[in-house]
């Protein structure tokens, strides 16, 4: 009895192992190649669900069905105009022929390595056939932005852009058209390829930056000189207006002062011409004011005896104690 029980348990375990090795699940994002002793058998399995295979002899090799990304490492490449640039690319691809993919590449690591070779080579060929401006500019229709404040002479000094016949999009299309047939031999469909980043090589980057700085300084100096000229013109106008205001104010002050002096003289004349004594007193007072402003302690005055200014001095006598 115990022998029969042990045998039944052994049979059940064997059946379970057989079923476990015969059944497998394929997800929606996967497709699979079934191999028997290392060789593919049957058609690729592309529909998701619970599937069966021969136990122990057959192996399920899952293959990604979703869109995959290839991100190349930046590499230095020469352009047609002999400028070395660092080009960084990325592309998207998917596996459309899993059997061919499995026979030629086996896994995604091998596919990425093959894409590195093909896309890198075609990119280098395309970059070498075009000048830098063709790769940097998006399309041939796009016009560069210009500083409207710059004169024609400044624009000529800064130089002109090289004429563009294609643009970056057309260059990307050339790379795509050249690489797509090559990767299709591996069961891969190349969906698109784009330049992620384009930069100058480290050896030429300082020279490019120095040139850009020199051009910006040239424009800054022109703006500075124009600003200084405008400032000088404004200061000149300010000085002229200030002098004009001062001269007009001085003329007005002198006119007012002249009118005031004339009015004071008229008042004095009316006051001192009423009698002869008043006139003599006015003459005496003015002469004394003159003496006060002219004669100081150490003043030496030489006058003629017939001088009107001497008539009051000659009639004076020193104080005798």
- Looking at residue 308, the DSSP 8-state letter turns out to be G
CB atoms within 10 A of CB 168: 21
d(CA 126, CA 120): 10
d(CA 75, CA 84): 10
d(CA 185, CA 189): 9
- In this structure, is the dihedral angle defined by the CA atoms of residues 110, 111, 115 and 116, taken in order, positive or negative? negative
Per-residue pLDDT at 184: 94
**Which pair of structure tokens corresponds to residue 57?**
């002899």
Distances (CA, A) of 41 to 18, 33, 131: 20, 8, 51
The DSSP H or E segment spanning 93 is strand 84-95
d(CA 91, CA 195): 9
CB atoms within 10 A of CB 22: 14
Angle at 233 between CA 228 and CA 234, to 5 degrees: 95
pTM of the model: 0.57
Per-residue pLDDT at 320: 45
d(CA 218, CA 220): 5
Domains of the chain: 2-64 (no CATH), 68-203 (3.30.479.30)
Which residues are within 8 A (CB) of 171 and not within 5 positions of it... i.e. 6 or more apart?
A: 126, 127, 130, 134, 135, 195
pLDDT values of the chain reduced to their tens digit, one per residue, 321 residues? 666 766 777 666 766 676 667 788 888 899 999 998 888 888 888 888 888 888 888 888 999 999 999 998 888 888 888 888 889 999 999 999 999 999 999 889 999 999 999 999 999 999 999 888 888 877 666 555 555 555 666 555 555 555 677 888 889 999 999 999 999 999 999 999 999 888 887 776 777 777 778 878 888 888 888 889 899 999 999 999 999 999 999 999 999 999 998 888 888 777 767 777 777 777 777 777 777 777 777 777 676 666 666 666 666 555 544
Give the pLDDT confidence of 55-111 residue by residue, as tens digits: 888 888 999 999 999 998 888 888 888 888 889 999 999 999 999 999 999 889 999
Per-residue pLDDT at 126: 92
């Amino acid at each position: 009895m115990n022998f029969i029980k042990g045998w039944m348990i052994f049979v059940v375990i064997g059946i379970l192992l057989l079923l476990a090795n015969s059944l497998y699940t394929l997800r929606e994002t996967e497709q699979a190649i079934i191999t028997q002793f290392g060789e593919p058998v049957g058609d690729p399995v592309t529909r998701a669900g619970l599937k069966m295979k021969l136990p122990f002899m057959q192996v399920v090799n899952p293959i990604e069905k979703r869109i995959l990304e290839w991100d190349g490492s930046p590499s230095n490449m020469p352009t047609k105009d002999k400028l070395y640039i660092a080009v960084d690319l990325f592309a998207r691809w998917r596996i459309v022929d899993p059997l061919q993919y499995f026979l030629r590449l086996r896994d995604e690591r091998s596919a990425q390595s093959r894409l590195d070779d093909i896309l890198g080579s075609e990119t280098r060929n395309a970059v070498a056939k075009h000048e830098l401006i063709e790769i940097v500019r998006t399309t041939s229709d796009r016009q560069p932005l210009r500083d409207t404040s710059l004169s024609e002479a400044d624009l000529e000094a800064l130089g002109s852009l090289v004429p563009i016949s294609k643009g970056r999009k057309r260059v990307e299309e050339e790379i795509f058209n050249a690489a797509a047939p090559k990767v299709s031999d591996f069961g891969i469909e190349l969906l698109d390829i784009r330049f992620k980043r384009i930069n100058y090589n480290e050896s030429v980057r300082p020279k490019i930056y120095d040139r850009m700085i020199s051009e910006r300084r040239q424009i800054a100096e022109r703006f500075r000189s124009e600003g200084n000229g405008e400032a000088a013109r404004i200061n000149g106008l300010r000085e002229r207006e200030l002098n004009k205001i001062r001269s007009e104010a001085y003329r007005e002050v002198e006119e007012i002062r002249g009118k005031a002096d004339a009015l004071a003289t008229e008042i004095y004349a009316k006051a001192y011409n009423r009698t002869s004594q008043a006139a003599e007193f006015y003459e005496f007072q003015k002469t004394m004011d003159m003496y006060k402003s002219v004669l100081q302690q150490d003043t030496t005055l030489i006058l003629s005896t017939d001088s009107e200014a001497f008539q009051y001095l000659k009639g004076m006598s020193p104080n005798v104690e």
